[in-house]
Amino acid sequence: MSHTPHELAEEFPELTTQMAQLRQSDRHFENLADTYHTLNRAIHRAETDVEPTSDDHMSNMRKRRLALKDEIYAYLTAQTAG
């Protein structure tokens, strides 16, 4: 389990510096990133059967992760534009 897919740095490699800076200076972004990270780890544990879950729960977690990723990307691009 050394590699966890869908980490934010893998999803947005061109924005890693900006994400690191925002994690230090922007509480809202830090909370978004932490929530994404926690959810992403839960999905990975379920996918690898470390913590099995129902198909419905897995689907809901994946939808939430996608929504968070969209929100994070929108936040990052708004910071760049603004």
Confidence of residue 1 (pLDDT cuts 50, 70, 90): very low
- What is residue 79's predicted lDDT score, i.e. its pLDDT? 84
Record the pTM: 0.89
Could you read off the pLDDT of 46-56 as tens digits, one per residue? 999 999 999 99
What distance in Å separates the CA atoms of residue 18 and residue 79, rounded to the nearest whole number?
Answer: 9
d(Cα 75, Cα 82) in Å, to the nearest integer? 10
| CA–CA distance, 36 with 72 (Å, rounded to integer) | 9
